[in-house]
Structure formats: C-alpha cells, structure tokens
Amino acid sequence: MDAARWVQVGDGVWVRRYRELDLSLGVVIGERWCLVVDTGADEVQGAEFAAAVRELTPLPWTVVITHAHFDHAFGTAAFEGAAVWGHARCRIALRETAEAQRAEWAGRYRSEGRPELAERLERARVIMPDAWPGGNLDLGGRLVRLVAPGPGHTDHDLVVQVPDAGVVFAGDLVEQGAPPAFGDAYPAAWPLALDAVLGLEPVTVVPGHGEPVDADFVRTQREEIALVARLCVDVRAGLIPVEAAVERSPYPEEFTREALARV
Ligand SMILES: [Zn+2]
C-alpha cells in the first residue's frame, strides 16, 4: 500500500518517493541533526517514512512542512520529539482547513473504494508547525535555508535550499508528472515565486509530487503557469471567453478552470 523507494539527490540528501499521489518527501542529513521535509498524508505513511529515515540515520530530527495540504502535513505525529517548522501562515491554514481537507479526501477515497486510506486520514492527528523565524538551520557541518518565495501554490509555500548540494525542495510549487494544482493557488504570483526558486540557482529541484527535476524543467513550468495566469486575467477582463482560455491552456480543462476560479 505504501510502496516507496529512496532516490538520492546529493550527499546526505534523499527523496522518499511514494506511489500513492506520486508523493515526494525529503530528508537532509547533517553531522548532528537531520531535517525532514514534509511528513506524508497520514500517520501510517508518516511512520513508514520515519522508519525509512531511521535506516539512513540515527540523528535527532527536525521537521519542516512546505505547506498545509494534508498529503504533506498529516504524517507529522510519527516524528516524535521533533521541532516542526512552517511558514507563519501554514499554521493558520492548517487550523482553518485541516478538517475540511480530511472530510473531502476521506470522501474521495471512499468513493474510490479505498476505505482503508479514508480511515487512516480520519485517524491522523494534526500537528501544528511553529512559524519559522527566518535564517539558516544548522544541521551540524551543513546549513540549510528555509525560503518563503511568496504566494504561489498556496499563500504560505516554504522551500528548503541545501546550498552545498545544489538542491531545493520546492513543495508543490513544482510538480513533475502531473500539472500543478491551482485549488488554493495565486496564479498571477506563482511565476514570481518560481523566479525566486530559480534565483537559488538549484542544480536539482525536488517537487512535491513526481521525480526530481532540473532548473530548465522549472523554467518551462514557470512559463506554462504564467500563460495560464495571463489567460485567466484575459477571461476576467472579458477579452476572451472561458472556452478560448481552456483551449489555449497548456493544462487539462479542470486545471485551467481551477486557476480561473482563483484569479
Ligand atoms: Zn499542495
């Protein structure tokens, strides 16, 4: 059920890839601490991830949550004793939306004939992250940077830069294998957030879903999202009909319509 594998993207920098939702979770290992990037969709997946991290390192862990969507944040209880960090608005978003996310996705899993996933989601305890005060996080012999690039996939995306490895964990600001999700997004601002990610000059960008990618992939996705945002603005201004935006969009209709609802 939790079919998963490790992908190494740098010295002591790993991505745990899950078949479910094509999810990508991360870990960065220093000399004294390890940093866990996102925790999975429920405590069962969180526990699988925690056990897998323990196969890599016995070091104490700190957790950072890239954003408040359940598949990134509902596994945190499995990381006992960890400090948990997120964007200041991540905590607010979790408080405001966790139960609605739980109900929506439990319903979706049940309608798909997957009650076990629904039950796991319903049982998951939600751990609130503290607001990251800014600055670097010292893992011992290795500094990582937590960067808030501005609104994009949500209003509280936080990315994790590992400068010595050229790696950036981008959360759902970047998606590989599926179009980016616009449900809580700020389409017009999203390209600027990706400019900030690209400004970190990453060699490898780890998306929230899908395989690790390079900066060129992110540049292409940035242009696609910018096009979607322009189409949405044109629709709102009455310059083109919705159908024209749907037709010219690089993404499937449901994604474009979600973006439209956010402009
Ligand atoms: Zn998300």
140 CA from centroid of ligand 1 (Å): 30
261 in any annotated domain: no
Q: What would the pLDDT profile of 121-173 be if each residue is shown by its tens digit?
A: 999 999 999 999 988 999 999 999 999 999 999 999 999 999 999 999 999 99
Q: Is residue 263 part of a domain?
A: no
Q: Is 80 domain-assigned?
A: yes
Q: Which residues pair with 24 in a beta bridge?
A: 17
Identify the domain containing residue 64 by its residue range: 4-213
In a domain, 96, yes or no: yes
Residue 225 C-alpha to ligand 1 middle, in angstroms?
Answer: 15
Asked whether residue 113 is assigned to any structural domain, the reply reads yes
| Spacing, Cα 239 to ligand 1 middle (Å) | 30
Q: Is residue 230 part of a domain?
A: no
Domain total in the chain: 1
What is the average pLDDT score of the chain?
Answer: 97
- 141 alpha carbon – ligand 1 mean position (Å): 31
Q: Does residue 221 belong to any structural domain of this protein? A: no
Amino acid residing at 135: G
Compute the 3-state secondary structure of the chain and give helix, strand, coil in percent, each to the nearest 5. Answer: 40, 25, 35
> What CATH number does the domain containing 96 carry?
3.60.15.10
Asked if residue 225 is part of any domain, the answer here is no
Which residues of the chain carry a pLDDT beneath 70?
1-2
* CA–centroid distance, residue 186 to ligand 1 (Å): 12
How far is the C-alpha of 245 from the C-alpha of 230, rounded, in Å?
Answer: 9
Distance 31 CA to ligand 1 centre (A): 30
